[in-house]
Structure 1
Amino acid sequence: MKIACVGGGPAGLYFAISAKLRDVGHRITVLERDPPGAGYGWGVVYWDDLLDVLYRNDPESAREVSARSVLWQDQQIQVRSRRGGGTAFFGGYGYSVSRAALLDVLTRRASELGVELDYGRRILDPCELAEADLVVAADGAGSRIRTVGREHFGTHVAAGRNSYLWLGTDQPLTHFAFCFEQTPAGWIWFHAYPSTKTVSTCIVECPPETWHGLGLDRLDDEEGVRLLEGIFRRALDGHRLISRSRGRPARWQTFPHVTNQCWYHGRTVLVGDAAHTTHFTLGSGTRLAMIDAVVLAHSLTEYVELDEALHEYDRHRRAELHPVQAAARSSMAWFEHPDRYLARDPVSFAYAMSVRRGNQTPWRYQLHLATQAAAVRSVRRAYDSGRRWYRARRRGETL
């Protein structure tokens, strides 16, 4: 089969890898509008469940992704209001990898398997790829391929209320950090986590009232970043915020919540953010995109007829994504009005954040209170270490 994959991000590259592994006879071309090495963005987070999938699908690239990732443990929530402030904690752990490193691993692996990589190629319509038996739209939330067939896919895009800015910082974190700061214009906060051992990702978010009130809509890139450094100076502990990722400055955005009633039409199929988006407060976008890639490649192997394969992929993944997107909408809505909870003490506020998707159990509040004790966090980290070891051994990962 001749396959054109539009978009050289994690979804497109990992689909090409997965399809080639299952049928070396596929002629696959990944068409990317940017030049080689232009992996804009900072870090992405994931958990053990994604590593389980990657090791089952392609141990070769999984080992590389794991080797270039960093572990973060615990989550720290700082709240600083005009009346004072404090810190609360969540337990748990996860992994993060810089987007550039992830793309480097996947690009090299795809090339090794015989995937053709065509850079600097901007595709605006599937008709430009008339020779392809299958067109995989992996061109992101603003997908041009999807836009052309919008009425067939039943696309709906709803913009979030808050503004956010995806930055880096030279503060080397070992945990996931939240910091909420009250300014004269209103509340503003960041979500931060390590990208590498020396650089961290820092996503700044605020409601439109704060954004306008602070003048962030009028300041240029450098002035805006310096203002944010001043606001978060205590949390950053003297470290810098970094706007430019491989030469491109960060831009304020509102989050596009993308849904589609159908993920394929004719010979065109959607994967990753072109098919669905999940708010960054859920931290699952890259994970879900790569699982889309695996499921689509598997469907193409399992079903002889292309239409049947795409139908099964669509049915299976949309059913799985429905509760995830519902949880993401709830998380996004909570962060659009955190001021409803910020009058509480930091520990109570942190608990409200932890159950924002409705996943509350009778014992969860007691565990949350216990987690505020350093000794309990230490015991939990030891338990998590054993759990990581067991899961790594089970999937065949060399420790």
Structure 2
Amino acid sequence: MKVACVGGGPAGLYFSILMKLRDPSHDITVLERNPAGSTYGWGVTYWAGLLDRLQAYDPESARAIADGSVRWSDGVAHVRGERTVHHGDEGFGIGRRQLLEVLTRRAEALGVRVEFERELLPGAELPDADLVVAADGVHSGLRERYADHFGTRVAVGRNPYIWLGTTRVFDSFTFSFVETEHGWIWCYAYRFGADHSTCVVECSPATWTGLGLDRTNEADGLGLLEKLFADILDGHPLIGRSSADGSAQWLNFRTLTNRSWYRDNLVLLGDAAHTTHYSIGAGTTLALEDAICLTDALHTAPDTSTALARYERQRRAALLPVQSAARHSAQWYENLPRYIRLSPPQMFALLGQRHSPLLPYVPPQLYYHLDQATTRLDSLRRLKRWLGPRVARTLHARRQNAEL
């Protein structure tokens, strides 16, 4: 099969690796519009389950990713001067640039042609290939060519956020919530290398404008954030973009979905097909899992059309619980005043429960005590898992009816 993959991010590169491992005779080219070594962002997170999956499909790249990652097992929250620690699941961080370098080297070693500074301009003909993979991100140009067919929908989140780096190296996944005269502002930070961490800052629109972050220049904005989060930064600076292509930008998260994921021999992969709110740290994992599923479908289905339909069906089903978790996570932060007046340990516990569909409909104090009880009684735990989605659906339907 001749394959052209437009976009050299994790999804496109890993897909090309897996295709070559399945059949070295595949003719695969990855077209990346940016120069080699340039990328946006800082570090990405993932969890132990992803490493197990990568090990099953390509042990060599899995080992390289594991070797380039840092690990943590604790979460720490700073709220109103109190430090709360939660011992949780093991997490991993790796620099986005390092991840791309690992995947690029592996792809090229297997015979994939990775061509940098190769942008497919609007109106240009699609690459001559049996399969064209649109792995060109949330602003996919290939997807936008056929917007009516794909049926793209975008829901814009309420809270502004900014993705920053820092030289402060965090040993644990760290949250900090700071109250200002204009409302609360918060960040979460995690290490992804020996000398850098990612720091994502978020707040409500009222806090953003009240602090003047909507109109300040980058240097002054970073200076203000450094003062607000001085307790966790410990004198270290915040850093804007990790490349020279512009300053860090305040954004509102765009949750993207598509009615269809393929058209003829063109298929969407990764962020071109779907996005989930950054607060659950699943973007890179979902992109790599897309690549695994598409590769499996192409090598088990009788023809390409059947394979693409199977890929879309399977990934849609797998994404449903993740998209639900991401939606509730984003809403938890958008409704922070509902939880922030709890004691810091209780608030941090509910932060860990923010994916629950039941949480928005139960008084926080009551939910906390119910959650503590379920850790001791298995019958209550099963009831909570059964009841949550049903209560959420019922109350959501009632709200919609009341608004009509």
TM-score, scaled to structure 2: 0.87
CA distances 1:245-302 after superposition (whole Å, capped 9, x unpaired): 0324321111110111221111111111111111111111100100100110111111
Report how far residue 357 of structure 1 moved.
Answer: 1.6
Contact 2:13 2:104 in 1 (8 A): yes
1:86 alignment partner, one of 67, 82, 86: 82
Q: Which residue of 2 aligns with 1:109?
A: 106
Q: Secondary structure at the match of 1:132?
A: coil
CA distances 1:293-350 after superposition (whole Å, capped 9, x unpaired): 0110111111231101101101111111011111111111111121121122111211
Contact 1:158 1:256 in 2 (8 A): yes
**Residue 12 (str. 1) matches residue 20 (str. 2):** no
Q: Which residue of 1 aligns with 2:48?
A: 48
Q: Which residue of 1 aligns with 2:383?
A: none
Q: Which residue of 2 aligns with 1:365?
A: 372
TM-score, scaled to structure 1: 0.88
Distance in 2 of aligned mates of 1:232 and 1:130: 48
**Residue 25 (str. 1) matches residue 21 (str. 2):** no
**Residue 182 (str. 1) matches residue 179 (str. 2):** yes
Q: Secondary structure at the match of 1:88?
A: strand
Amino acid at match of 2:228: I
Q: Secondary structure at the match of 1:129?
A: coil
Amino acid at match of 1:131: D
Q: Which residue of 1 aligns with 2:166?
A: 169
Distance in 2 of aligned mates of 1:72 and 1:225: 27
Contact 1:166 1:202 in 2 (8 A): yes
Distance in 1 of aligned mates of 2:344 and 2:94: 29
Amino acid at match of 1:224: G
How is 1:195-344 mapped onto 2 (pairs within 5 angstroms)?
195-248=192-245, 249-344=247-342
Contact 2:4 2:127 in 1 (8 A): no
Report the identity percentage.
49
Distance in 2 of aligned mates of 1:132 and 1:232: 51
Distance in 2 of aligned mates of 1:367 and 1:77: 23
Report how far residue 365 of structure 1 moved.
Answer: 2.2
Report how far residue 90 of structure 1 moved.
Answer: 2.2
Taking a change above 3 Å as real, the CA distance of residues 259 and 124 of structure 1, as seen in their structure-2 partners, is farther
Report how far residue 35 of structure 1 moved.
Answer: 0.5
Amino acid at match of 2:318: E
Amino acid at match of 1:253: L
Report how far residue 127 of structure 1 moved.
Answer: 5.6
Distance in 1 of aligned mates of 2:190 and 2:127: 43
> Which stretch shows the higher mean deviation, 171-180 or 129-138?
129-138
Amino acid at match of 2:250: W
CA distances 1:177-200 after superposition (whole Å, capped 9, x unpaired): 010101112111001000102211
Q: Secondary structure at the match of 2:118?
A: coil
Distance in 1 of aligned mates of 2:295 and 2:337: 44
Contact 2:122 2:141 in 1 (8 A): yes
Query: How many positions carry a matched residue from both structures?
Result: 365
Contact 2:33 2:117 in 1 (8 A): yes
Amino acid at match of 1:343: R
Cα RMSD between the aligned structures?
1.9
Taking a change above 3 Å as real, the CA distance of residues 303 and 54 of structure 1, as seen in their structure-2 partners, is same
Report how far residue 143 of structure 1 moved.
Answer: 1.2
Contact 1:124 1:145 in 2 (8 A): no
> Which stretch shows the higher mean deviation, 339-348 or 118-127?
118-127
Taking a change above 3 Å as real, the CA distance of residues 359 and 336 of structure 1, as seen in their structure-2 partners, is closer
Report how far residue 367 of structure 1 moved.
Answer: 9.0
Contact 1:263 1:269 in 2 (8 A): yes
Q: Which runs of 5+ in 1 are unaligned?
A: 370-399
How is 1:62-141 mapped onto 2 (pairs within 5 angstroms)?
62-80=62-80, 85-92=81-88, 93-125=90-122, 128-141=125-138
Report how far residue 12 of structure 1 moved.
Answer: 0.7
CA distances 1:92-111 after superposition (whole Å, capped 9, x unpaired): 22111010110000000011
Q: Which has the higher contact order (CA 8 A, sep 6+)?
A: 1
Q: Secondary structure at the match of 2:125?
A: helix
Taking a change above 3 Å as real, the CA distance of residues 243 and 105 of structure 1, as seen in their structure-2 partners, is same
Distance in 2 of aligned mates of 1:278 and 1:130: 29
1:148 alignment partner, one of 145, 148, 161: 145
Distance in 2 of aligned mates of 1:151 and 1:171: 46
Amino acid at match of 2:82: G
Contact 1:351 1:368 in 2 (8 A): no
Taking a change above 3 Å as real, the CA distance of residues 366 and 233 of structure 1, as seen in their structure-2 partners, is farther
> Which stretch shows the higher mean deviation, 352-361 or 321-330?
352-361
